[in-house]
Each structure stands twice: as structure tokens, then as C-alpha cells.
Structure 1
Amino acid sequence: MSSYPTLRRRDFLTSLGVAGSAALLLPRSLRAAPSDQLKIGFIGAGGWAQAAISGQVEQHYVAFCDVDDERAAKTYADHPQVPHYRDVRKFLDRHAAEMDGVVITTPDHAHYPLAMMAMEAGLNVYLEKPMATTPWECRRIAAAAAFHGVSTQLGTQGHAMEGTRLLREWIASGVVGPVTDVWLWTDRTQKRISIWSETLAEAEPERDTIDWRAWLMDRPYRPYSSQYAPQVWRNWWGFGSGAICDIGMHMFDAVRFALDTGFPESVIPEVSGVSEYTIPQWANLRYRFPARGSHPPLTVHWRNGWKGDVQNHPSGIPHVPDEVVRETKNGMAFAGPEGTMFIPDMRVSRSPKIYPEAREQEVRANRPAKWLPRVKGGHFQDWYNAIHAGRSGGADFAYGAALTEQVLLGALAERSGEEIRWDAASMTAIGSPKATAMARPERRDGAWQPTRELAAVLAKLPD
């Protein structure tokens, strides 16, 4: 779509008459020494990053960067030979030239400036989901990736899984008939870490082990609190967007891939306990999508959170017993006139279960043909293959930006409490100035700024 420019750096520099080294115009994969092993850096070394780091041992680790020494301590101890930094600028200045790519696994609010800095340094980027906290940031990340021509991947790991491909193939073959309704649900944000507040958190003394101003990145300053870091930042609008941009990113990826959904016509919210600062205690959303090709109009029903001691589960899903749904913390259901495909997971990591049972037996006896290409080795390996080949991953930043923006419309509905009817061309919520303002981040003066060349590309986007 026009909101996601495809102008490449080579074309732009040529149009400006800028003479530069041929090496600067080559993709990073072509500048690397030919080898199956890639040279990778990590921005984020504690928490979730530990799983990403421990799972990539076949690659060469160049350097780590984390603003919180305490969180990153185990990674540093496990890899004492790898240099580590608090300051991302030093990390990039000293090591960008020797790295093939960087993996970014930080709190959501830091994704935009970190991804932009990494791509400006010429690096291929794997970025954890969600891409960013606002549509404004998503558009700019996608534009920068296209401009620099780097290999990118958004961390929606289910996108590379076998089950996700089976889901699309089975829907296309009509195993339950045309899908008209999808239900998605999760127990997140979990009751045990739920925070609701009408004010900012009370200030606490800063820990010596954390560079708090660096943790804030380009967000306006607020005093340190353990209610923000290290783990509960996702509950605060200033740093995250709640459960829908956590677990919902995986689920809506499956919906988008299987049913070719673009932006919805509307998102209608019902929420409890939302404030200016914190996410709802529970949320019900209805995404309404128009007909698409052979697909009829679609309603996606989102449920998350807790009502007292009871998880906010959906009920009345066609063909699926309510007790089955209530036993599942995270689940998806794709309903058509002949049955419902049920996935008891946040990702389609296995073959869907079909209800009613008679229809399940019929499908198992006559399985639809497999026709989609499969991804060997998983989501990270897909990105590594893309770097070697000079292409992007299956969930690259063009795909990931549109997906994240789609999901963020639900966060805008939750936060504003208003129906969202999205004008993608102007990036405005029709009839909701409040939600329109929330589609752009509140950034600190003097925050990261793009180079002149990239700034000229970004200037063409809605602001």
C-alpha cells in the first residue's frame, strides 16, 4: 500500500547525485565473509532475550547491549568472552561494521529508535513483536527498511510454523466452509502482575545496576519505579500496549495469514479498568473486516484479562463446548457453517482440532493437500537464510508493520474507549481526535533523529 514506501537507498542516493562507496550500497549479507555462520549482536540480553541468545549458538556472537546489568547478568556470565555495553551508540559505533545483523529484544517502547539506529548503521534486523507502540512508528520502520534494503524479520514465531500453513490450506480447501467469525482469547495480562493506576507510579531510588535514562530511550522522562521495570512495563501505555500487542500479535498474525485481512472497517471496544496511564483489567473487542476476494465479511472477537477471579473467556463459539474453551488460557477458533477449527495455543503450533467430531474424522480421513512452501529450521533460521540470500524474512518489516498497525487499532480502541474507524491514508481515527493523537508517540526533545537522506523519505509519510 502507498503508506509503506518501497524507495531503496540506491535509488534515492542516485536521485540526489550523491557519490558513495560501492560497498555502502551493498546489502550487509554481500559484505560479510562467505560462511554459514553469521556474526550477530544482541540489543537486550536479559529476560526474554536469554531464550533468543541461547537458541542461536550456531552463530557467532559479536557483542551484547543491555541497560540493565542485573537482568543481563546470566547472559554475561554464560558468555564471558563477548563484550557488553549499556550504551547502544557505543555498541553500534564499535561493532556495526563487523556484524551481519542485530537481534532486538527490549521493551516495546524502545523498538522504534533501536531498529532505526540499527538500520541506519547498515544492519539486518530481527525485531521482537510488536514492531512498535504506535502506527506512526510502524510506518517509519517499514519505510527505513525499504530504503536501506536490509533483511528484516518481526518476532512472530508462529509465522514460520507448520500449523499456520495448515490453517491457511484447510481454510482455502473449505474444511469448515467460509470462515465468518474468529475468536481469540488469552489470560494476559495475568492477574498476579495486574496494575491499575490513575497516576504515574510513585518514584523510587534508581538501582545502580540500571541506566534509567537509557531504558526510557526517546520517551519523556519519568522517575524510576519497579512498577515499570523490569517486567511490568507492558501494563503502562507509555511503554507497552497490553495483552493485545503481546499475545494478540501472534494470534492476529495467524488470522491475517490465513484469511488475508487488511485493516478493519471498525474496532468496537468494551473495557473495564482502563486509565490514562494503564491498560484495562479486561477487554472485549470486535474487529469487523469487509469481504476479501473469496472470503466473506469477517468478525474477530478478542477477549483478554480477568473479571475478578474468573478469566474473561468467550462463550457460545459454534460447535465448540464451552468447557473446552474455559480449560484453555490461550486459544483461537475459526468458525464456518460446517464446523470450527480450534487451536488451544497462542500460536498455531499444531494441526487445528475440528469440531464437531464427525467433521474432524472426515477431514482426517481426507486431508487437504499441502501447497504452501514450508519453513525449515524455524523463524530465526528463515531470517538467517534471508541474510545469506539478500532478501527479507517471511515476516519482514513491510508485513510486520501492517500487522502491528492492525493490532494497534485494538489498543487505540481500548485506550480511548471509542470505536475506531481507521483512515489508513491519513493515519487518523475518523471522529476520534483522542485516538488519532494516540496513534503518534509522545517523544522527548533531543531524541534520536534520522539522517538527512532517510528524513527525506520519512517526510513523505503522514505525520
Structure 2
Amino acid sequence: MNDSKSPTSPQGISRRKFHQTAGLAVASNFAFQFVPSHVWGVNERPALAGIGTGGKGESDINNSAAAGFQVVGLVDVIDAKRIPELTGMPRMQGLAKQRDTYPDAKFYADWREMLHDLGDKVDAVTISTPDHHHAHAAAAAMKAGKHVYCQKPLTHGIWEARMLADLAKKTGVKTQMGNQAHANDHMRRCIELVRAGVIGRVKEVYAWTNRPIWPQGFQTTPPPEPVPEWLDWEQWIGPAPFVEYSPKIAPFNWRGWWNFGTGALGDMACHIMDMPYWGLALSSPIAITGKQQGGSQWSAPINSTLTYEFAPNQYSVPEGIKYFWYDGQIGAEFKEDTWSLKPGEFNRPQEILSGMDHTESKGYDCVIVGEKAQLFFNRSKDTWVIRPGKAVDGFTAWPAPSLPRARNQDPHHEWFDAVTGKIGQAESNFTQAGPFTETVLLGCIAQKVPDTRLEWDPVNLEIKGRPELKPMIKRDYRPGWELSA
């Protein structure tokens, strides 16, 4: 890698590129535009722009349109004029479909230009970019008075999650994080059961995933390759530390890179840890300890096991709750020649799973351990099991539904209903999703500093006695991409 080529300032960007972006504000400079009071008519459709249109962006935009939004803008780092020739490439078909599905939508390579150009012609945005762009795009949109649906994890860093939660309160926009099972009836029913004491006071929680399904465990960067003519690599990198282009980074494998993603934990925990975190009304952990294999300055680990410690509350035993997380594969090995993982055995809590059939679990589940029984929950299926069943024989205090139910059990419909005033806020709004994301991302720090009990100070956003870890909580951004609350 040749750092001298890193375009970290206007001097490192072509004159044409500089003039294209010089008049565009980064998130910290957008003036606040509080959401005006608007009563939406029965046939009115709020205008939507999709930031990130391939992969998950395709479904986020399409599902938002199905919920009732009118798509007026599409943003991606792909040269719009080259889309027809890219339709045969993996992960590019969705982008071409979007152009065909929404022919009247304006196409942009830079979300800053879109916000500047469309202005009050857009009411809301979806953000389905790599993790490192989430906070910048969301903050700019919120400051411009736009409602925001952002994919999980809400942000790449802990300070960013706190900032977006505060900004959501300050602006009053309608927000939703894309951990879609949060909108499922069976998740909300399980929460009602746990809160009603069906399994007793809670001692422990276990959650696990079969991820990563992308490379993790690499100890260096891959050899650089020429940037494809159709890709704006400078814009793709955005606020993150610069590395030379490689197809081993984009369009998919960025998830395992600390510069851009948050590994298997950040990619999946906002799904799998969600029901217990929400249901048990957890807040910031007291401490976290991690064990891992294969992590490096560049890469998230091949596997990890984390222990979160939470203070006691109304749903826990007096000692509080320990929340265990498992990811990756034991004995797996990263192969540099193929830039892939040689498989091992999935890292799961084997003792707690004794006697359970998990062939249909898709490789991820969670278990809440109460004093009376255990509740097994799978977010991807309408399944939950209380074990042993005899623990609830004769139980009579089955609760009536108390949580609101999302229309169509769909997060995009729920968000649309919030935007149009049918409900107050979606349930995975940023004031809920921000603290949850903070908790998840603390696990990334525990992976980077393993075998050490890290005590968390949520008020000051710091790990007690470890000032050298502050850059892991709030990192520096490349010049021109500074971000402030």
C-alpha cells in the first residue's frame, strides 16, 4: 500500500472532483431544519431517497416504496452511465433494477449532493451503505429535517451512536434502525412473556451466530488493484482511513474490516441480541470481557466469546444479568492465498443447547435463562420454546398484549406510519437503537483488547482507567469528513 496516494485532502483529489464537492456540506455543517408540522393526506406519498441502492439497499428502498413512500432519489458510488454494462456482475443486478423500477428518480454518486440538490423535495432517506458511512449520512439528513431509516448497526462507533440518539431527540424526526425482526409479533410477544415473569427473574442470556460468512482473521492488507472505472473509490472510502482498492474489500467483504465494518458481532448482534436487550429493559453494561482468535489491527476475529455484565433491574435476579455472545468458528483458519476462512466448528454455548434440535435455526438464536425456565427464541422464524414445559404448567398470569404491533410486521411500514403521523415513533427508533448499538459495539473493543475486564462509564463515554482506548470510542475522520453533534 502506498499511503502517498491517499486522497485525504483536497490536494489529493482531482480538480474536477474537488469542484464537484467543494460546495457540499458534511454532516457537521448542515444547518438544523426542524421537521415542519405536516398532515399527510390519504393519497399523499412522502418523498424518499435511497442512500446505498445495491444489496440490502434494494430491499430497503423497495419495501419503503411498498409501505407508501415515493422514490425520488437514488445514491450510489457507481457511475450511473455504466450501470447497463454491469448488470451481469455479482451484486450489481439490484442497482440496475432500481434504475428500471424508479425511472423518474434522480441518481447521485454523493449523498451530500443529493441532500443539497433535492432539498425540501425529499422527506425521508434510507441508509444502506457500509457501516462507516451510517453516522455521517444519518446526521446530515436529520439536521436537514429528513426522517431516517438506517441499517444496523446504527453506527460504526460508540460516540456516533450516542450522537445520533441525541440528534433524534433534538430534531424530532422519525427514525428506525433496520433490525427488522424488531417489528415481528413473535418477538414482541416473547418480551411480554418475559416481563410478566413467565420464566421467573432472569440470570443469564446467551446469543450466537454462524457469522462471519466473509473473510476475517487477515493480518495484513491485500495487494492493491486498479480501481474500476465505474467505481468512485474516494467516495466509497468517505470518512474512513484510506486503503488502496481491492475486490477483497468491496462490494461485500468490508464487513470484516475494522476500517469499514464491525465484524460478525456488529453485523448480527443488533438482530440476535435485540429481543433480550429490549425485553429486559437493559441499558449500558457495567463491564465487558472478551476472548477471541485471529483478530488484528485490520480484521475482526475469526471467533469470539464475550461476557457483558448488567446491573440488576426489575426483571433480573439481585446479582444482575450476564449476557454471553458467541460468534465465528472454533479451529477455523484464515488462508491468505485464497483470502478465505477454512471452516471449523461453530462457536456456540453447547451446554445450554444440550438436547435441543437447532437444524432449522439458520445458525443463530438466543436463550434467556430465568429462575423457573429458559426461553429459546429464533428471530428469523415464528418460533419460541419454553423449556422445561412443566415449568409453566398451571401458570395463570399470561399477559395480554401490551406492546404495539407493527403494520404487516414490517419495519418499513412501521416507519412510514410514524412519518405520516399514524403512530408516534417506530419501536426501533434511534433513542432505543442508539444505546443498544453502543452496547453491541463495546463488544468490538473487547475483541480488540481481549482477556481484560473493561469497566464502562456511560456518562463520560469512556472505559475506566484506560484513556488510551478513547480512539476506539470516537475515531478521527479524514479531512473534509469531520463530524460533530
Please classify the TM superposition score into its range, dividing by the shorter chain length: 0.7 to 0.9
From 389, 410, 432, the equivalent of 1:399 is: 432
Measured in 1, the distance between the counterparts of 2:195 and 2:169 equals 31
The question of 1:86 aligning with 2:121 is answered no
Alpha carbons of 1:243 and 1:360: their partners in 2 closer, same or farther (altered >3 Å)?
farther
1:168-193 per-residue CA deviation (whole Å, 9 max, x = no partner) reads 21112222211211110100012xx2
1:329-369 per-residue CA deviation (whole Å, 9 max, x = no partner) reads 111111123221112x3x27525211124347766x98543
Aligned to 1:6: none
Measured in 2, the distance between the counterparts of 1:54 and 1:133 equals 25
Alpha carbons of 1:258 and 1:449: their partners in 2 closer, same or farther (altered >3 Å)?
closer
1:15-70 per-residue CA deviation (whole Å, 9 max, x = no partner) reads xxxxxxxxx86625618777442211100110111112222234211110011355
SS at structure 1 position matched to 2:161: helix
Measured in 1, the distance between the counterparts of 2:405 and 2:286 equals 32
Measured in 1, the distance between the counterparts of 2:345 and 2:394 equals 36
Aligned to 1:410: 443
From 364, 378, 382, the equivalent of 2:414 is: 382
Distance apart, 1:313 and its partner CA: 1.4
1:190-236 per-residue CA deviation (whole Å, 9 max, x = no partner) reads 2xx22322222321110112101101111122211111110010101
Measured in 1, the distance between the counterparts of 2:237 and 2:122 equals 25
Measured in 2, the distance between the counterparts of 1:331 and 1:27 equals 39
Matches within 5 A, 1:91-110: 91-110=114-133
The question of 1:202 aligning with 2:223 is answered yes
Measured in 2, the distance between the counterparts of 1:26 and 1:424 equals 28
Amino acid at match of 1:383: W
Measured in 2, the distance between the counterparts of 1:35 and 1:218 equals 39
Alpha carbons of 1:251 and 1:312: their partners in 2 closer, same or farther (altered >3 Å)?
same
Amino acid at match of 2:373: G
Amino acid at match of 2:474: R
Measured in 2, the distance between the counterparts of 1:431 and 1:165 equals 39
Distance apart, 1:94 and its partner CA: 2.0
Q: Does the aligned pair in 1 maintain the 2:40–2:420 contact within 8 Å?
A: no
The question of 1:49 aligning with 2:67 is answered no
1:101-126 per-residue CA deviation (whole Å, 9 max, x = no partner) reads 11111100000111111122221111
1:269-294 per-residue CA deviation (whole Å, 9 max, x = no partner) reads 11000111100100001111111124
Q: Does the aligned pair in 1 maintain the 2:272–2:364 contact within 8 Å?
A: no
Aligned to 2:195: 172
SS at structure 2 position matched to 1:269: strand
From 308, 314, 321, the equivalent of 2:349 is: 314
Aligned to 1:371: 402
From 177, 181, 184, the equivalent of 1:161 is: 184
Q: Does the aligned pair in 1 maintain the 2:329–2:346 contact within 8 Å?
A: yes
4+ runs deviating over 6 angstroms = 31-34
The question of 1:68 aligning with 2:78 is answered yes
The question of 1:353 aligning with 2:385 is answered yes
The question of 1:438 aligning with 2:472 is answered yes
Greater alpha carbon shift after TM alignment, 382-391 vs 124-133: 382-391
Alpha carbons of 1:111 and 1:166: their partners in 2 closer, same or farther (altered >3 Å)?
same
Distance apart, 1:439 and its partner CA: 0.8
1:397-416 per-residue CA deviation (whole Å, 9 max, x = no partner) reads 12111110011111110122
The question of 1:221 aligning with 2:231 is answered no
Aligned residues: CA RMSD? 2.3
Amino acid at match of 2:345: V
The question of 1:59 aligning with 2:69 is answered yes
TM-score by length of structure 1 reads 0.85
Structure 1 unaligned spans of 5+: 1-23, 451-457, 459-463
SS at structure 2 position matched to 1:373: coil
Amino acid at match of 1:311: F
Measured in 2, the distance between the counterparts of 1:369 and 1:391 equals 22
Measured in 2, the distance between the counterparts of 1:291 and 1:366 equals 23
SS at structure 1 position matched to 2:97: helix
Distance apart, 1:299 and its partner CA: 0.9
Aligned to 2:289: 268
Q: Does the aligned pair in 1 maintain the 2:216–2:295 contact within 8 Å?
A: no
Distance apart, 1:427 and its partner CA: 1.0
Distance apart, 1:254 and its partner CA: 1.0
Aligned to 1:145: 168
Measured in 2, the distance between the counterparts of 1:360 and 1:212 equals 57
Amino acid at match of 1:170: L
From 185, 195, 206, the equivalent of 1:183 is: 206
Greater alpha carbon shift after TM alignment, 370-379 vs 171-180: 370-379
1:210-265 per-residue CA deviation (whole Å, 9 max, x = no partner) reads 10110111112221111111001010101111111111011222122110111111
Measured in 2, the distance between the counterparts of 1:165 and 1:419 equals 33
TM-score by length of structure 2 reads 0.81
Amino acid at match of 1:409: L
Measured in 2, the distance between the counterparts of 1:114 and 1:25 equals 15
Q: Does the aligned pair in 2 maintain the 1:423–1:430 contact within 8 Å?
A: yes
Measured in 2, the distance between the counterparts of 1:73 and 1:132 equals 27
Q: Does the aligned pair in 1 maintain the 2:273–2:366 contact within 8 Å?
A: no
Measured in 1, the distance between the counterparts of 2:70 and 2:54 equals 18
Amino acid at match of 1:79: Y
SS at structure 1 position matched to 2:150: strand
Amino acid at match of 2:368: F
Q: Does the aligned pair in 2 maintain the 1:243–1:304 contact within 8 Å?
A: yes
Amino acid at match of 1:130: P
Alpha carbons of 1:31 and 1:359: their partners in 2 closer, same or farther (altered >3 Å)?
closer
Alpha carbons of 1:323 and 1:386: their partners in 2 closer, same or farther (altered >3 Å)?
closer
Q: Does the aligned pair in 1 maintain the 2:455–2:464 contact within 8 Å?
A: yes
Q: Does the aligned pair in 2 maintain the 1:335–1:341 contact within 8 Å?
A: yes
